[in-house]
Structure 1
Amino acid sequence: MRHRPLRDTAAWGNLPSELSRFIGRGAELARLGGLLESSRLVTVTGVGGVGKSRLALAAARAAAEGTQGAQERHCDGVWLAELAAVRDPALLELTLSEALGLTDHTTRPPRTVLAEHLAGRRLLLVLDGFEQLVDETAELVRELLRRSPGLRVLAAGRRPLAVEGELTLPLAPPGPEDALALLAARASAADPDFAVTAANRAALVEVCARLDGIPLALELAAARLRTLSPAQVLARLEDRFALLTGGARGGLPRHRALRTAIGWSHELCTPAERLLWARLSVFAGQFDLDAVEYVCAGPDLPVEDVLDVVGELLDQSLLVREETAAGVRFRMLETVRVYGAGWLESLGDAERLRRRHRDWYVGLATWCELDWFSPRQQEVAALVETELANLRLALECCLDEPDEVHLAQYLAGTLWFYWAGCGRLTEGRHWLDLSLEHTGRAVTEYESSRLKALWVLGYVAALQGDAAASMSALYECRDAAARSGNPVAAAYAVHRLGCLSLVSDDMARARELLGAALEQYRAAGELNSSVLMCQVELGMALAFQGDLPGALALCREVREICEERGERWTKAYALYVLAYAALDAGGAEEARLLLTECVVINHAFHDLVGLVLALELLALVTVTEGDPAEAALLQGAAEPMWGGVGLRLFGSGYFNAPRLMCRERAGELLGAERYAAYAAEGRQLSREALVGRALRSPEERGGGAVPAPRSAGRGGPRGSRVSRRAAADQP
């Protein structure tokens, strides 16, 4: 069995922590665990609100924490992908990649990336809420299971996936005792003084029966027990039961019971609460109070009243409050959201609300782009990550209207910092390509939006290693900018053409283009992270050609500006160049300090290009410090990351030099066999574990000793030397 590092929880899975106790379902949980042992695809099915998601998550946690055999079956983790907010089939694979923590900068199809990542791994993938994309999800699951023998899938939805080999667990509502326990637990959470007594037990049991024990219905009813007695709750259900069970004759009682519970909650809401409920249905995933106040307020719902109405919906369990990295957010359960969307359509206000939603998120992206060049850069990254589902919805809304394609181009272009700086190149390319496929009718009026989308597409394609697409977009942008008199767009196009020359080892051309772009930026008064990156890239070109004083001057200036402005992302690249120069001058200790900060920043922003460059230079620093074993391990750990980087830096003599030098020096000190063993051990590290290891100082890791690697074969001469040619042949 291959060696694995100690489990790193952050890198091993992404299951959310439980916010409330899982009650009952012992028999179903045991049965589901048994099905997971015997099949690679198990789907929990049932009506909305019956508790499919909670049961699937409970089973996933049990698999993660269970017997040694279960842990071995899922030794690469248990991962949750929530699909309810995904409407575009093209985003299905991307959503799964995000859930698995994959960062890929290449032009490879996301499905290929997923399949290659999963091919040699043993993990459990939990898919929740796939009904709206059932055919696409089934096709994807079928292919992944076929290509990934160690993959198991646990799905939760209203219908099976109908994939060969699938086992299903139809989930009925809990039995009477479990239903009563759930109702009592949720009522006690809302009101600590609540208790089941001899006086109210019969009424509570009848409430459970009237609602068929459906957990979502019980949770909605429990919220009412804060203000109503069990008898009053039962009476109100009696009064409205016939009215609220409308629908197709012969419909399932459970569907009618769920609609009863939600419809009853709707009936009990005030007009303002009903109105806000309907309007909130335009959001996808999480949203914050500011967005609610802008999108949902109006003459019939004054902005100053929105907070109080949100509070009432929270009290009634119609909204869920969640703490995120971007602050407090709210979310609607999908069944509740769909009910509200139906009311919004019946009010004839859906299109207006969708446009309000779109306008808010276009404005949010604009604000985030400006704030990216500020001390709030990390906050901006977390905010866009949290709001991604709504930004996708806004992009879809723009693309649905031919006359508003310019807004899609503007929005996709404005998010350049997220696509490039936070490891989202594939998704950025998707939206940029889509927006530029459409021209709309008012092309000339909104030419600046199209130009921005073009240079951002050129930038993203360059980072993916797609030089042809990058040059095509950048030349088109440069020429159109010249015709329309847009010097800023022209500067961006020239800048990114300089980037292409840099990674293609045409340093003379890179210096010419990057220098020209800097002059154009300054003439236009443009200063932001991208402009500073241009200066760093010019510094790289100078450093690679031996002009270290020139490179140091440029990158020290960038570092100072970044520290003044609180900018970190571009600063990391400046630190890389400064470390390169420091190491060249014999300052290994200084280079380590610079690269340590560089690794921390790039890892925080999920910038795979910056991270792998810094790690490989750090490996060279490590062998210079006298620790070839650790250097080989770091070098090996960095190698798998190149699979997700589209830039063909291994074809660049300049970018490749630190890697080759490290491999040669460490190989000479360790010998070919031991170097290969340490590198193989490094390849088993998760990214989290790798970063943690890279940040250790020489003192923390015990100096420059060369211990035998755990994966080395016996009998290898310790410290034996091999020829430079043999060392260079090692991976």
Structure 2
Amino acid sequence: MGAVATGTPTGRQTVRLPAEVTSFVGRRHEAAEVKRMLSASRLVTLTGAGGVGKTRLALRVADEARRAFPDGVWLAELAELDNPSLLAQGVTEALEIRDHSSRPAMDVLVDHLRDRQALIVLDNCEHLLEECARLADRLLRAAPRLRLLTTSRQALGTAGEQSLAVPTLGLPDPRGARPSLATLARYDAIRLFVERAAAIVPGFELDEDNRDAVELICRRLDGIPLGIELAAVRLRALSVQQLLERLDDRFRLLTTGSRTVLPRHRTLRALIDWSYELCTERERLLWARVSVFAGSLDLEAAEAVCSGEGIEREEILDLVAELVDKSVLLREEHRTSVRYRMLDTLRAYGRERLAASEEEAVRLRRHRDYYRGLAADARAALFGPAQVQWFTRLHLEHANLRTALEGSLADPGQAVRGLDMAADLLYHWITSYYLGEGRRWLDQALAVCAEPTAARARALWTDSWLAVIQSDTDAAAAMLEESRSIGTRLGLDPVLAYTALYSGMVAMYRGETRSAIALYEEAVSRHRAIGDPVGLALALIRLSLAHSFIGDSPGAIALGEESLAVCDAYGEGWHRAYTMMALGVDVWRQGDTARAAALEKESLSFNRSLDDPLGIGVNLEVLAWIAATDRDYTRAARLLGALGIIWHAIGAPLSGYGHLVHYHEECEAAARRALGKPAFNAASKQGARLSFTEALGYALEDELPSEETAAGGRPSPLTPRESEIAQLVARGLSNKEIASSLVIAQRTAEGHIEHILSKLGFNSRAQVAVWVAEQHRTADAEGEHPPEDTV
């Protein structure tokens, strides 16, 4: 590529950067963050996996910042420099320094830059890391107005360095709602593919026919720009669908690149080979072994699965840190833990290496055994103070749990253990959005393990509860009958206790209240006898609801209070929240709406912290009924509107509490009568438009979002003040600058930023900037306001 020379009016400035031959897509706010960092630090390093776009981002920032460096902006490409002793000489040549003396190249470089206000981009430092660190230190000490922008798989590790991990290009959250075509087209990974595809196939556009394939291609390539560009080239010979189908063999497929770029950038494999060769033998071994994990992993899992045969357990921590430094593993902060994730492309490469080493089966077995043990430990700790931590951990480990289940059920000799694991995960299936998946795993395991064993009996009553929640009571009744039969034959008291409990749920759903009460009483008696607090609390909750349903308020309250006592004795929270819900129902029926609302909101607060959709749904139901009783029919209609989204996500209204449906119907009818059809529909739609977070805020605090949002604008979880500060963060202002701009204390500004990061689930200011950009792009596309430059 040619060089661009740009002069200032004085003729002093020189810019030696390669011209862009393709469009620069995305990175607007990462660029803003790099500029901010350059203003605060004289050494900034862009880190990230190979092909993620570190060089393009550095060159774009350098070009946009050129006016701040009157003595020049220069690029020193180091990828092809193999001899560390020639580093200073290579940089000297890149800066076009003409010196024919016998002085060392480093001295020449220092003298040349000593009084200059310049920016040097050192590109691809990873294979000369120590030498680059020494060079940077020497130059920055000698030249006080010099700034360095470096790209590397890992930071240089020198004093004063700031680093930014360059993320892959943005894609929609796979767990979220399916975006519109217009919204999908605004994601940077999609934009890059479409632009490069249009250059290969004139007239190529994103449309409803190809959108899913394009999104999956970009997702399978982790949003890595190089992978996307190499994939787009293949459209010369393949359709989008054919390209997607062949991505399993991605390293062979993606082998065509521009002849003008570095050889290792012409194929995806060559690029990753480069990263692999930069690792030590033990780091390569860990890379291969970590590839058996799906999603993410924590240090404990890495130690359990990856140690032995060449890596001691105590070495794992240091090796993980090295792979994080080399951008092979990505570090993810969670509330109480740190986890690690590997890009899918790097995982596929590692898996190939693992298979070639002939230890793939060993590591898969250790992975499977570890996660089966994790599921069993979670089940044992279900009823106690560590409950929420376990629920949260299982949610984070869902992909690994799924892999372990697949491995167990695919091996006939391990299928029974897979059946046990699926049953151990009962509360994981119920307190998350994996209800349907949990039932499929149990159905599959039961089909494989047909012997009438204790494991089958337990899996049957476990599966029956999921069926009840899905309103499939016929299937639940059949499973409970078989489970009870096995339990009776084998003398399994716990099985008989649980089959009585869940049979009571089936009876209650069918309107057989007296029969249900008898079954619940049997369950309470049996669980007391065997000393099972989990089953006892659950049976007491259901029995309390049943007594409330027949108008026996004293009985309902007494049973609820007994359930609270059981939960409190063990420091348990989830069953306690459901007990509060049950008590709220009866207190509401007695007419004490204020106390009932307080009980439901206390329950909702816990269920929100756990992100339990079923518990949240029931809480919102009761709060809607309370609002109608208080004649606040608009609030009731809004809550009913929000509930429609939640029940649709779960798959059944009032899942598992079908006998309460008539309260829902009475509430809706009362609100319709009082408001009239147009006003009811408007309020209901207003509730349905609320985001999940907004709906919970409205239920707990009776606060609607701003008028713009309520009328259909873009929802924001931030307060107006937090939104204002987020805008300033996106513009690259420091905490001190934000405080000065808003005339507030710096500590106050820092507190607001912490709240913003927490609400958005982010770990860095750069992520906030990207989020702000997305809000502006969406608003601009919808014509809500003119776009604002936040760089």
- Shorter-chain TM range is 0.5 to 0.7
| Deviation digits for residues 517-557 of structure 1 (CA, Å, limit 9, x no counterpart) | 121112222122x4312210111111100111111111112
Secondary structure, counterpart of 1:546 in structure 2 = coil
Distance 1:151 1:122 in 2: 16
Distance 2:533 2:26 in 1: 61
2:643 is equivalent to residue 638 of structure 1: yes
Q: Is the 1:287–1:329 contact (alpha carbons within 8 Å) kept by the matching residues of 2?
A: yes
| Deviation digits for residues 193-221 of structure 1 (CA, Å, limit 9, x no counterpart) | xxxxxxxxxxxxxxxx6554x4xxxxxxx
Query: 1:214-233, aligned counterparts within 5 Å?
Result: 214=265
Alpha carbons of 1:423 and 1:503: their partners in 2 closer, same or farther (altered >3 Å)? farther
1:296 corresponds, among 284, 297, 306, to 306
Task: Among all aligned residue pairs of Structure 1 and Structure 2, give the percentage whose two residues are the same amino acid.
Answer: 31
Query: 1:223-262, aligned counterparts within 5 Å?
Result: 253-255=266-268, 257-262=270-275
Aligned to 1:317: 327
Pairwise CA distance, 1:426: 0.8
- Counterpart of 1:264 in structure 2: which amino acid? E
Alpha carbons of 1:465 and 1:310: their partners in 2 closer, same or farther (altered >3 Å)? same
Q: Is the 2:181–2:207 contact (alpha carbons within 8 Å) kept by the matching residues of 1?
A: no
Aligned to 1:454: 460
2:589 is equivalent to residue 584 of structure 1: yes
Pairwise CA distance, 1:53: 13
Alpha carbons of 1:366 and 1:305: their partners in 2 closer, same or farther (altered >3 Å)? same
Pairwise CA distance, 1:308: 2.2
Distance 1:148 1:578 in 2: 52
| Deviation digits for residues 348-369 of structure 1 (CA, Å, limit 9, x no counterpart) | 2211111111111011111112
Please tell me whether Structure 1 or Structure 2 has the larger radius of gyration of its CA atoms: 2
Pairwise CA distance, 1:54: 13
Number of aligned residue pairs: give it: 521
Q: Is the 1:638–1:683 contact (alpha carbons within 8 Å) kept by the matching residues of 2?
A: yes
2:575 is equivalent to residue 570 of structure 1: yes
2:176 is equivalent to residue 100 of structure 1: yes
Aligned to 1:594: 599
Aligned to 1:50: 51
Secondary structure, counterpart of 1:309 in structure 2 = helix
Secondary structure, counterpart of 1:375 in structure 2 = coil
Query: 1:414-563, aligned counterparts within 5 Å?
Result: 414-439=424-449, 443=451, 447-528=453-534, 530-563=535-568
Aligned to 1:661: 666
- Counterpart of 1:308 in structure 2: which amino acid? D
Greater displacement, 574-583 / 404-413:
574-583
Distance 2:511 2:210 in 1: 38
Q: Is the 1:423–1:605 contact (alpha carbons within 8 Å) kept by the matching residues of 2?
A: no
Distance 1:467 1:343 in 2: 49
Distance 2:607 2:181 in 1: 26
Aligned to 1:348: 358
Q: Is the 2:509–2:658 contact (alpha carbons within 8 Å) kept by the matching residues of 1?
A: no
Alpha carbons of 1:592 and 1:164: their partners in 2 closer, same or farther (altered >3 Å)? same
Distance 2:214 2:691 in 1: 20
Distance 1:348 1:263 in 2: 18
Distance 2:470 2:487 in 1: 24
Q: Is the 2:305–2:367 contact (alpha carbons within 8 Å) kept by the matching residues of 1?
A: yes
Distance 2:682 2:566 in 1: 43
Distance 1:348 1:542 in 2: 62
Distance 2:412 2:365 in 1: 14
Distance 2:293 2:242 in 1: 36
Pairwise CA distance, 1:52: 8.8
2:184 is equivalent to residue 124 of structure 1: yes
Alpha carbons of 1:635 and 1:274: their partners in 2 closer, same or farther (altered >3 Å)? closer
Greater displacement, 513-522 / 557-566:
557-566
- Counterpart of 1:342 in structure 2: which amino acid? E
Pairwise CA distance, 1:669: 3.6
Secondary structure, counterpart of 2:647 in structure 1 = helix
2:616 is equivalent to residue 611 of structure 1: yes
Aligned to 1:380: 390
Pairwise CA distance, 1:301: 2.3
Pairwise CA distance, 1:373: 1.5
Distance 2:407 2:19 in 1: 42
Greater displacement, 330-339 / 455-464:
330-339
Secondary structure, counterpart of 2:338 in structure 1 = strand
| Deviation digits for residues 655-675 of structure 1 (CA, Å, limit 9, x no counterpart) | 134323333443444334323
Q: Is the 2:460–2:479 contact (alpha carbons within 8 Å) kept by the matching residues of 1?
A: yes
Distance 1:359 1:165 in 2: 37
Aligned to 2:730: none
Distance 2:414 2:592 in 1: 55
Distance 1:368 1:24 in 2: 56
Aligned to 2:626: 621
- What 5-or-longer segments of structure 1 have no aligned partner? 1-22, 34-47, 56-77, 83-95, 102-116, 130-143, 177-208, 215-252, 703-708, 712-731
Alpha carbons of 1:25 and 1:406: their partners in 2 closer, same or farther (altered >3 Å)? farther
Q: Is the 2:500–2:522 contact (alpha carbons within 8 Å) kept by the matching residues of 1?
A: yes
Q: Is the 2:442–2:463 contact (alpha carbons within 8 Å) kept by the matching residues of 1?
A: yes
Distance 1:541 1:691 in 2: 27
Alpha carbons of 1:352 and 1:313: their partners in 2 closer, same or farther (altered >3 Å)? same
Alpha carbons of 1:172 and 1:273: their partners in 2 closer, same or farther (altered >3 Å)? same
| Deviation digits for residues 625-681 of structure 1 (CA, Å, limit 9, x no counterpart) | 342222222223223433344456599884134323333443444334323332232
1:371 corresponds, among 374, 381, 385, to 381
Q: Is the 1:503–1:647 contact (alpha carbons within 8 Å) kept by the matching residues of 2?
A: no
Alpha carbons of 1:340 and 1:701: their partners in 2 closer, same or farther (altered >3 Å)? closer
Q: Is the 2:419–2:456 contact (alpha carbons within 8 Å) kept by the matching residues of 1?
A: yes
**Structure with the greater relative contact order (CA < 8 A, sep ≥ 6): 1 or 2?**
1
Secondary structure, counterpart of 1:505 in structure 2 = coil
Distance 2:384 2:548 in 1: 28
Pairwise CA distance, 1:425: 0.7
Aligned to 2:289: 279
Pairwise CA distance, 1:451: 2.0
Normalised by the length of structure 2, the TM-score is 0.59
Alpha carbons of 1:315 and 1:164: their partners in 2 closer, same or farther (altered >3 Å)? closer
Q: Is the 2:276–2:284 contact (alpha carbons within 8 Å) kept by the matching residues of 1?
A: no
Distance 1:651 1:455 in 2: 14
Distance 1:570 1:398 in 2: 31
Secondary structure, counterpart of 2:296 in structure 1 = coil
Alpha carbons of 1:172 and 1:54: their partners in 2 closer, same or farther (altered >3 Å)? farther
Distance 2:415 2:242 in 1: 44
Distance 2:427 2:20 in 1: 46
- What 5-or-longer segments of structure 2 have no aligned partner? 1-17, 29-48, 57-168, 191-205, 222-226, 248-253, 713-791
Aligned to 1:389: 399
Pairwise CA distance, 1:79: 8.9
| Deviation digits for residues 442-492 of structure 1 (CA, Å, limit 9, x no counterpart) | x47xx2322222111111111111122211211111111111221112221
Q: Is the 2:433–2:650 contact (alpha carbons within 8 Å) kept by the matching residues of 1?
A: no
CA RMSD of aligned residues (A): 4.1
Aligned to 1:183: none
Pairwise CA distance, 1:394: 0.6
Distance 1:475 1:611 in 2: 31
